[in-house]
Amino acid sequence: MKVLVLGGGAQGSAAAYDLLQDDGVTEVVIGDMQTEQVALFLRPYLADSGSGSGTGKLRIEKVDANDPESVRGAMAGMTSVVCALPYYFNLPMTKLAIEAGANFADLGGNTEIVEAQRGLDADAKAAGVSVIPDCGLAPGMVNILAQAGIDEMDSTESVRMWVGGLPQNPEPPLNYQIVYSMEGVLDYYTTPGLVLHEGEPADVEALTGMEQVSFPEPLGTLEAFYTAGGISTLPYRYRGQLRTMEYKTLRYPGHAQIMKAIRDLGLLSDEPVKVGDAEITPRRFFIDRVSPKLRKPGGKDLVALRVEIRGTNGGQTRAIRFDLLDYFDESTGITAMMRTTGYSLALTGVMQGRGQIREKGVRTPDETVDPVAYVDGLARRGIQIRKSRVEGVA
C-alpha cells in the first residue's frame, strides 16, 4: 500500500509517522512545498537519514496544492491520500484523488465544504474509491464514538461531546498553549456552534453554555462551553431522530470568561480600525501579540475527551460514556493533539487502503467507519478509549 500525505505540518507529520509503523504500508510520500524541514521523528525513515541507516520507506516530494498538475503527479499510483492541508484545499484535493483512483481522507473543518464533497459521491462510486472527510479528533474521533453509542441503543435521546487540547502545566492568565493554529482557535471562539435542540439543528453562541466537567486527578474539574466546528454535519444527519446533540470545548477554569470579554470588546474583530495614521485589524494585532506568549517550545500537552450517549435499551434508560486522556509522547516528541488528530487520519486512510471500508463514495466517518475496528486501531497506537456505563441514570 502506497500512501500520500498532503501537508508536512504538525498533523501531516504525525500521520506520516503513524503510517510508517504499519508493515502493510510500503511507501509514504509527504507532499509539501517545503521539502527541507522534516520532523526529527521522521528522519530515520528517509533513504538518506544522515547516518546511512535510513529505511527509505519515506519520501518528501515538492507538491504545490495550488497546481493541479503537481498534485496529479504526486497522486499517481497511490492507494490512499490523506490530506492535512488547510480545510479550503479539501474539495479540490478530493476531486483530484477521485480522478487518480485513490481513496481520500481529510481533517475536515468546514461544514459547507463537506456538503460540497458529498456532491462528488457519484463520481467517487464510479471511480471505485472511498472518500471520508472529517477524520481527525473533532470532527472525526468524536463522531465515530458517538455513532458507536447510538448503535448500542434501541433508541437514543441525547449525545453530548466534550474535547479539549490543554497544556499539562497551565500558566495564567489564559492557562492555554497553542497546539495548532491561533487563527483556528479564534474561529472557534467567534463562530456559532451547531447543536441539535429539540430535534432540530440550531446555532448557539460560542463561549456560552458554560458547565463544569470532572475528570480523574490530577486533571480534575474543567470548564466546557460551546464552540464551532467540532462535529461537522452530525446534527443534520440525526435531525428529527435525537432530541439533543451538542459539542463543547474543554479548558481550564476561567479561560472562557477572559476570551469572551476580549471578544465582546471587539478585539477579535476582522473590521479594520484607524489608530493614529495607521489602519489595523484588531484580530491580527491580537494574534501577533498573543501567539508568541502562548507558543511553548517543549511545552507538553494533553487531550481530554468525553462522549456520552443517553437512551433506552431493553426498555431501560441507559447511558454509555467514552473517555480519553492522552498525553505528549516523551519518546518521539509528538504532541497529544498530533497523536489524536494525525493518527486518527492515518488510521482511516489505512482502513480505506485495506478494504476495511467497503462502501465506496463520499461518506462521513460516523456513516462508514467500523467503530470497533477503529477503537482497536487506536489502542494499538497507545490511544486508549475507556468505555463505561454511567451510574445513577433514571
Q: Mean pLDDT throughout 316-321?
A: 96
- The number of folded domains in the chain is 2
Residue 18, amino acid = D
Lowest mean pLDDT, pick from 51-55, 186-190, 242-246, 332-336: 51-55
Q: Hey, how many other C-beta atoms are within 10 angstroms of the C-beta on 262?
A: 18
Task: List beta partners, residue 386.
Answer: 323
User: Does residue 227 lie in a domain region?
Assistant: yes
Shared-domain flag, residues 266 and 325: yes
User: Does residue 268 lie in a domain region?
Assistant: yes
The label of the residue with cell 487563527 reads: 183
Cα 292 to Cα 195: distance, rounded to the nearest angstrom: 33
Q: Are strands 27-32 and 2-6 parallel, antiparallel or unpaired?
A: parallel
pLDDT at 52: 42
pLDDT at 53: 46
**Nearest Cα to 89, choosing from 78, 70, 79, 101?**
70
* pLDDT tens digits, 325-342: 999 999 999 999 999 999
Shared-domain flag, residues 22 and 105: yes
pTM, to two decimals: 0.94
| More confident site: 391 or 293 | 293
DSSP string of 14-29? Answer: HHHHHHHT-TT--EEE
- Residue 218 DSSP class: T
> 173: domain CATH number?
3.30.360.10
Q: Is the pLDDT of residue 54 over 80?
A: no
Contact 98, 104 (CB under 8 A): yes
Cα 33 to Cα 43: distance, rounded to the nearest angstrom: 18
User: Rounded to whole angstroms, what are the CA distances from 118 to 169, 178, 183, 220, 239?
Assistant: 41, 32, 27, 40, 18
Cα 177 to Cα 295: distance, rounded to the nearest angstrom: 6
User: Does residue 215 lie in a domain region?
Assistant: yes
Shared-domain flag, residues 216 and 322: yes
Shared-domain flag, residues 174 and 309: yes
Q: Mean pLDDT throughout 264-281?
A: 94
pLDDT averaged over the chain?
Answer: 94
Shared-domain flag, residues 108 and 11: yes
Burial class (CB in 10 A: 0-12, 13-18, 19+), 392: exposed
Cα 64 to Cα 89: distance, rounded to the nearest angstrom: 11
Radius of gyration of the chain (CA): 21
Q: Which residues lie below 8 Å from residue 183, measured CB to CB, with a gap of 6+?
A: 287
Contact 30, 60 (CB under 8 A): yes
Shared-domain flag, residues 331 and 207: yes
The three cell numbers locating residue 195: 447543536
Shared-domain flag, residues 28 and 106: yes
Cα 63 to Cα 26: distance, rounded to the nearest angstrom: 20
User: Does residue 321 lie in a domain region?
Assistant: yes
Torsion, Cα of 132, 137, 138, 140 (10° steps): 30
| More confident site: 49 or 191 | 191
Burial class (CB in 10 A: 0-12, 13-18, 19+), 286: middle
* pLDDT tens digits, 8-35: 999 999 999 999 999 999 999 999 999 8
pLDDT band at 36 (very low <50, low <70, confident <90, very high): confident
pLDDT at 391: 66
Contact 345, 107 (CB under 8 A): yes
The label of the residue with cell 441539535 reads: 196
* pLDDT tens digits, 347-373: 999 999 999 999 999 999 999 999 999
**Nearest Cα to 245, choosing from 303, 305, 308, 188?**
308
Q: Are strands 193-197 and 155-167 parallel, antiparallel or unpaired?
A: unpaired
Shared-domain flag, residues 91 and 146: no
| More confident site: 62 or 52 | 62
Shared-domain flag, residues 321 and 215: yes
Quote the domain boundaries for residue 344. 2-136+340-378
**Nearest Cα to 110, choosing from 137, 89, 93?**
89
User: Does residue 214 lie in a domain region?
Assistant: yes
**Nearest Cα to 232, choosing from 88, 138, 150, 111?**
111
User: Does residue 14 lie in a domain region?
Assistant: yes
Shared-domain flag, residues 44 and 162: no
Burial string for 344-354 (b: 16+ CB within 10 Å, else e) reads bbbbbbbbbbe
Cα 280 to Cα 241: distance, rounded to the nearest angstrom: 47
Shared-domain flag, residues 154 and 292: yes
User: Does residue 394 lie in a domain region?
Assistant: no
User: Does residue 148 lie in a domain region?
Assistant: yes
> 121: domain CATH number?
3.40.50.720
Shared-domain flag, residues 182 and 308: yes
Q: Mean pLDDT throughout 229-246?
A: 94
CA 289 remoteness from chain centre: 26
Lowest mean pLDDT, pick from 131-140, 189-198, 219-228, 293-302: 293-302
Q: Is the pLDDT of residue 295 over 90?
A: no
Torsion, Cα of 270, 273, 278, 280 (10° steps): -20
What values do phi and psi take at 224, rounded to 5?
Answer: -135, 145
Cα 115 to Cα 295: distance, rounded to the nearest angstrom: 34
Burial class (CB in 10 A: 0-12, 13-18, 19+), 388: exposed
* pLDDT tens digits, 128-184: 999 999 999 999 999 999 999 999 999 999 999 999 999 999 999 999 998 777 888
